[in-house]
Structure 1
């Protein structure tokens, strides 16, 4: 996912939190219909599926394809364990984010601010959308361009975590491709089908920091949206805050220390002709604790054309989405704003 930079950068949310505001500024207050509504929020243990990948042991392939089919069709998101990514690397990545946001002065952090003269932001910021009148999220972030290698410039990242970021990037790409292959197989497609449809992977890694908020019932850490690309892999700390939408209700994704949250994105929904759904999700805030997450986005090149797989269309099941150039989709997402899944809904035939 690539961020388009605006020149009017608001005050960092962490600064607003630390000065002890009793009321959030008006630009962070969500419309009534978007505010967290506890009557529509569930935190039951029977929520987002948790799938044990058994370190991709072939003996479990049939079972995994069955579980993936159900999770992708009914949820569009799930958590995975025994995924092969070292626990130490997950911890190191979270600790890197905590160190940047909690141990560095604002003056030091702003040296890595997003470049307002660039069309694609990499760095430290708070605002993601082009619209100046959009409601702001209660979140600061550091976005890293990590793949392809031609985009990767570790000199733009704090030196103390460059090695960790490179190792994490490589592990996440390997895992994302394995998952896309298994997801293809679960639809009786060749294992490389979705990977081939997406083409060369463009990967961004975004560390998000959600400071304590004095009025969490009025704000969102990240507004409701589905991701633009193919597949997102996310790790959380131990503070609740990630919600996914299921059957009209927001379900809390309970933090599991060693698990990775898998979120299907819009291009995968298009490629699978709606057999599998991209996950609508959001982040909420709280008044007591900061929260940190690390999201790794895997997207097509902007010149890539995405359309439903011919294998999944027929006279009885015609194509549900028109073909789209991915770069046009990205521009629409950032210009209009996400507002749930309205961007992919605009492609429906």
Structure 2
């Protein structure tokens, strides 16, 4: 596990005066001297643009990784009997690590030594000799600068770099820096040859013909970067290279013996060992996309050091920005797809990949998230299965009630969701509530603005996405929220006039249904009918009234991302637009609208109380382009104030039998933890013993 420490970072940040970061970045860029110039000037404190809070908080050591060793693959005998063995080793390394080192790869040692030496000479020569190459024009074939993403990244890194397009349209010899011209051309030719060999082996590791990846153009482009990491006076405050993945198909890295490269493996930073004569090979984002996650492009970084300099040469197999660059379509290979393993990524091209990389910079997030398809493609919705529908007619008749309780028990165990009919709420109230909420959302924006708020204490408010600032992706919906979680009394004038009367009536009616359902759930657990109501599970209520407008690109988003409910129970009223899906046996099941029915959903809190006897299911809402969808979710959250302690029901646990699976909690505590993060993961693990 990556260890973290709060240290004095917060206190230090308070003591530091405000500064104009943009001005500092511009001054650093205008100097064109880079970090080498800062080091040569004898600075003892690094400028604040290099301060990396994540680097400060994370433990840079890899002490926990003592038993983790990046695979080393010997290419000796590749042309003979060892080829199958080598292919198997590459398959394992690419699937688990995304990194491996190769020895006996065919590039002479003296050539590698000279390449590192001449890159160092380039960076350490007189500033005026380097200045003509200083540029941020990505269309140029040879450039020199510090941090390609200096103007967009949240923090600068402690390094300077020489960039060169080596294939398919290399610079003229005279365009290279004279001091490293010949060796760059020769070394580039050897790397291209090694790359062809690697792509053959990778193709075979995927079960394809050796020429498959080469035939897709993976080996056509080569972009070479010569990095220089000067000694850093404050290495604990910055990084030589922030955590990132590589955008291309494949990377081949030559490094000196200074060390500093680390790979993130199983949430631990693992040092890449110094192995004389070796080259480091890593899978890039685009190859992970092509293999549909069969091979992994993993995060890696370079730590800063007080000693040095450190020299490395990274050769990336990919096209770069230039006239005539390849923009052919790239997507998961059809040979690797099946009904069980559908495409995870949409099609793209290298131009778009590079634009995303250069626009985002090294912000710590995965480049692939930009191309990942929504959850809609990961599990095909099934119409062969449907959640149970339970008729509550006769719930007051003893023999019929027993049958209904049995159905509720089975549905709550197997599905966690079921529909109820004949629940007692008149169809006119149901239809009126849907119509009233729709009219609220479709009225003039200036009227709705008066209800817009993200204040936790406001009882009636209108907003979009409760987790907007925590979630990585917003959902396609707006929401009117009516909260009775603390005070049970609601004045009619607090509600929007356009849906006031019907909302008051619906709240009364659905609360009564909730109390009846809690009775049935109590009996289904073998408890007296009033048990859950006596625990005040129906006391706190929040009514969340969603509006999902037609979406012009429904395949790219969701109305509600997958989630469980942080409540004891949810009663959902929906219109007749099909959109709700529940995850059952790893399949997304459509919850088909049934006229007059209400949807009952077990929440996280009831799963805890029942000690996993009942399940709180993942569910989501898909977007559609045809028509708006309206729904009203009534969350029964229990007693929030004054705080009541809940936990697994003692009658359902025993010392010699089933132990309690969860720790005790208050509703406020659960809600704070649930909404303190993105909601697409269950909050149950936060309280599991």
Normalised by the size of structure 2, how large is the TM-score? 0.47
User: Shift of the alpha carbon at 1:339?
Assistant: 3.1
**Which one of the candidate residues 298, 303, 314 is aligned to 2:327?**
303
Whether contact under 8 Å (1:50, 1:78) holds in the other structure is: yes
Corresponding residue for residue 322 of structure 2: none
**Which one of the candidate residues 155, 161, 168 is aligned to 2:187?**
168
Alignment CA distance shift 1:286-1:200 (3 Å)? closer
User: Shift of the alpha carbon at 1:156?
Assistant: 2.2
Whether contact under 8 Å (1:207, 1:293) holds in the other structure is: yes
Alignment CA distance shift 1:282-1:302 (3 Å)? farther
Corresponding residue for residue 342 of structure 2: 318
> Per-residue displacement from partner, 1:45-73 (whole Å, max 9, x unpaired)?
74211110115232101110110011000
User: Shift of the alpha carbon at 1:157?
Assistant: 1.8
> Per-residue displacement from partner, 1:286-321 (whole Å, max 9, x unpaired)?
012210001111114441211011111100111111
In the alignment, does 2:126 pair up with 1:105?
A: yes
In the alignment, does 2:100 pair up with 1:81?
A: no
In the alignment, does 2:274 pair up with 1:248?
A: no
Alignment CA distance shift 1:334-1:171 (3 Å)? same
Alignment CA distance shift 1:60-1:200 (3 Å)? closer
Distance 1:128 1:192 in 2: 33
Distance 1:141 1:167 in 2: 20
Corresponding residue for residue 70 of structure 1: 92
SS in 2 for 1:232: strand
Greater Rg over alpha carbons, structure:
2
Alignment CA distance shift 1:117-1:332 (3 Å)? closer
User: Shift of the alpha carbon at 1:180?
Assistant: 1.0
Distance 1:71 1:101 in 2: 34
Most deviating of 122-131 and 184-193: 122-131
Alignment CA distance shift 1:167-1:49 (3 Å)? same
Structural mapping, 1:11-50, within 5 Å = 11-32=33-54, 36-38=58-60, 42=64, 44=66, 46-50=68-72
Structural mapping, 1:1-349, within 5 Å = 8-9=29-30, 11-32=33-54, 36-38=58-60, 42=64, 44=66, 46-54=68-76, 56-102=78-124, 104-114=125-135, 116=136, 119-120=139-140, 122-129=142-149, 131-132=151-152, 134-148=154-168, 150-199=169-218, 201-300=220-319, 301-349=325-373
Alignment CA distance shift 1:75-1:98 (3 Å)? same
Alignment CA distance shift 1:334-1:126 (3 Å)? same
Distance 1:309 1:61 in 2: 24
Runs of at least 5 residues in structure 1 that lack an aligned partner in the other structure: 1-5
Distance 1:50 1:200 in 2: 23
User: Shift of the alpha carbon at 1:167?
Assistant: 0.9
Distance 1:281 1:117 in 2: 26
Most deviating of 262-271 and 332-341: 332-341
Most deviating of 318-327 and 190-199: 190-199
Alignment CA distance shift 1:223-1:120 (3 Å)? farther
Alignment CA distance shift 1:135-1:23 (3 Å)? same
User: Shift of the alpha carbon at 1:43?
Assistant: 5.8
Distance 1:239 1:45 in 2: 21
Most deviating of 261-270 and 53-62: 53-62
Corresponding residue for residue 3 of structure 1: none
SS in 1 for 2:222: strand
User: Shift of the alpha carbon at 1:154?
Assistant: 2.3
Alignment CA distance shift 1:163-1:46 (3 Å)? same
Whether contact under 8 Å (1:240, 1:254) holds in the other structure is: yes
SS in 2 for 1:27: helix
Normalised by the size of structure 1, how large is the TM-score? 0.91
User: Shift of the alpha carbon at 1:273?
Assistant: 0.8
Alignment CA distance shift 1:89-1:49 (3 Å)? same
Whether contact under 8 Å (2:259, 2:274) holds in the other structure is: yes
Whether contact under 8 Å (1:13, 1:211) holds in the other structure is: yes
